[in-house]
Structure 1
Amino acid sequence: MRTLVITGGTQGIGKALTLHYLGRGDRVIAVGSNHIKGETLLAEADRLSAGDRCSFLLADLSSPTMTIRLAERLRTGYPSIDALVFGAFRYQTKRQETAEGIERTFALYVLSRYLLAEELCTALERAPHPVIVNLCGTGSKAGRLHWDDLQLRRRYRPFVATMQGARANDLLGVAFTDEHPDSPIRYMLYNPLFVNTGLAEPFSQPTRTAVSLIAKMFATPVDKAIEPIVDRIDTPPDSALSAFQVRRTIAVTGSAFDLNAARRLASTLRNLIIKSIEA
């Protein structure tokens, strides 16, 4: 029986993966920020006769302090973790800051993923074939890092914040393999493209209805979208770092995967974490 930790595990792709692996007989710890969705997931696990193998941990991953506390709970409760899946994300139509003063998209989409990978590295390395799956926008040509204003204080636009996060996640993969060169962990960047996962929720009407209709017409159903992800979790790539758009392999070379930029980002994130904890 394997142990999987899935952030964003109570909805969309994360929930579908949770239910899939529970159905396979594995143990899954689903992390989410909505208590009601967590209770719903636990009820579904009970109906699968998997209630004893499903846990829900409530956590706001946009908070570095809460993310560290979550990691401590996971290390204590599950000293060996086979797979860590990053699926928590929310499209922020307006700029918001966390209690620590960090722009929320950057905190959730970038900072929490860096922090959890580092904090759970030892637990992952105890597993026979450990893998980190980072669900992100890898392979997209849009977006860049705004090094002089990473938190977009001067001019926030939701798409710009999202695509900056996508570019940053490419660098997170590079930074992890750079900082852990001898680790058995396989770090996989995975872009599922357009999936029907409740993308309309952050929007107000009439945009919400329009996005819902577009998703129903053109987006991949969740159950279908998880199939390639399951394949990669079950049979991790040989290389320490890999990237995919659905089943198409993305070369982890070029400016999007620049080592110096990755080191710069990792240093920036470490400093931001220290400042947020001290505040």
Structure 2
Amino acid sequence: MKTIVVTGGTSGIGQALAYTYLGRGDQVVVLGPDPAKGRTFLDAARKAGAGDRAFFIEADLSLVSENQRVIGEIGARFAAVDALVLCARYFRSFRAVTSEGFEHNFALYYLSRYLLGYGLAGLMDKADAPVIMNIAGPGAGAAGIRWDDLGLERGYDGWQAMFQGGRLNDLLGVAFAEGGGGHRARYVLLFPGGTRTGFAGDFDPATAAYVDQMKQAAQPVELAIPPIAAIIDSPPREPLSAFVEGMPLSLLRPAFDKGAAARLDGVTRELLRDRLGIS
């Protein structure tokens, strides 16, 4: 029996993956901020006869402190983690800052994935074939990163924040694979294609209309699950892999530049140390 941890697991792709693995007999830990959605997940699991294998941890993953708490709770409850699936993100048309001083998209879409990946790596070392599945948009390139303004204080745009988050996650994958402390987990960056999910967010009217159009043209979430599950079930041999709509991407692209990845890793560690005293 595998242990699967899913962020953003109460809706969309994350939820569908959670139910898929419960149906296979595995145990699934879902992380999310909404207790009502968490109860819905647990109730559905009980009705399906999988209540003893379904777990929900309420957490606001835009906060570093909450990520740290979640890592501790998972470590105290489970002997190993086979797969960490990172789906959580939240679009904001208007800039918001967390109580810890980080721009919200940067905190949720990047910092949380950074913290959970490294924080659970030790537990994943104890699994047979561990994998971190980062659902993002790999391969776009590192040119759009605002190195001197990662929090987008100057000229914030919701789409720019989302695209930058995807680029940061590319570099996160590279850094983990290159220098993840010798950890065994394979890192996979994946974009499943346009998918009809909840696409949670706080939208201005123009963006809300555009998102509705995107949903109408997107594939049903059920179609996105089999290729993702296939990779989780049989992770690639390489430390880092990237896929877009089922097709592997070359890691020779600028998006996966090792120098930029090392730079981001250093900046991230410095930010966490300077603002929150985390080394």
Does TM, scored on the shorter chain, surpass 0.5? yes
Distance 1:257 1:209, change over 3 A: closer
Report SS of the residue matched to 1:154: coil
Task: Please tell me whether residue 254 in structure 1 is matched to residue 253 in structure 2.
Answer: yes
Does the CA contact (< 8 Å) of 2:93 and 2:204 recur in 1? no
The answer for the alignment partner of 1:239 in structure 2 is 238
Q: Structure 1 residue 110: deviation in Å?
A: 0.6
Task: Please tell me whether residue 9 in structure 1 is matched to residue 9 in structure 2.
Answer: yes
Task: Please tell me whether residue 193 in structure 1 is matched to residue 193 in structure 2.
Answer: yes
The amino acid that maps onto 1:225 is: A
Map of 1:1-279 to 2, 5 A cutoff? Answer: 1-140=1-140, 144-180=144-180, 182-199=182-199, 202-203=202-203, 208=208, 211-216=211-216, 218-278=217-277
The amino acid that maps onto 1:128 is: D
The runs of 5 or more residues in structure 1 that have no matched partner are none
Q: Structure 1 residue 119: deviation in Å?
A: 0.8
Deviation string, structure 1 residues 179-204 (Cα, Å, up to 9, x no partner) = 13743211000011211111275335
- Greater shift, 221-230 or 265-274, is seen at 265-274
Report SS of the residue matched to 1:197: coil
Report SS of the residue matched to 1:128: coil
The amino acid that maps onto 2:241 is: S
Does the CA contact (< 8 Å) of 1:186 and 1:236 recur in 2? yes
1: CA distance, partners of 2:277 / 2:184: 33
Does the CA contact (< 8 Å) of 2:139 and 2:253 recur in 1? no
1: CA distance, partners of 2:43 / 2:127: 29
The amino acid that maps onto 2:98 is: T
Distance 1:212 1:254, change over 3 A: closer
1: CA distance, partners of 2:161 / 2:209: 23
Distance 1:111 1:206, change over 3 A: closer
Q: Kindly report the root-mean-square deviation, in angstroms, between the aligned alpha carbons of the 2 structures.
A: 1.8
Deviation string, structure 1 residues 18-74 (Cα, Å, up to 9, x no partner) = 000000000000000111111111111112111110000011111111111111111
Percent of matched pairs sharing the same residue: 42
The amino acid that maps onto 1:240 is: P
The amino acid that maps onto 2:102 is: I
Distance 1:170 1:213, change over 3 A: closer
Distance 1:10 1:171, change over 3 A: same
Report SS of the residue matched to 1:223: helix
Does the CA contact (< 8 Å) of 2:26 and 2:53 recur in 1? yes
Q: Structure 1 residue 143: deviation in Å?
A: 6.4
Does the CA contact (< 8 Å) of 1:110 and 1:169 recur in 2? yes
The runs of 5 or more residues in structure 2 that have no matched partner are none
Does the CA contact (< 8 Å) of 2:141 and 2:256 recur in 1? no
Distance 1:179 1:163, change over 3 A: same
Does the CA contact (< 8 Å) of 2:92 and 2:201 recur in 1? no
2: CA distance, partners of 1:10 / 1:133: 17
Q: Where do 4+ consecutive residues of structure 1 move more than 6 Å?
A: none
Report SS of the residue matched to 1:19: helix
Q: Structure 1 residue 208: deviation in Å?
A: 3.5
Q: Structure 1 residue 172: deviation in Å?
A: 0.4
Does the CA contact (< 8 Å) of 1:186 and 1:240 recur in 2? yes
- Greater shift, 197-206 or 234-243, is seen at 197-206
Provide the TM-score with structure 1 as the length reference: 0.95
- Greater shift, 100-109 or 196-205, is seen at 196-205
Q: Structure 1 residue 213: deviation in Å?
A: 4.7
Distance 1:208 1:153, change over 3 A: closer
2: CA distance, partners of 1:69 / 1:220: 35
Does the CA contact (< 8 Å) of 2:84 and 2:133 recur in 1? yes
1: CA distance, partners of 2:35 / 2:158: 26
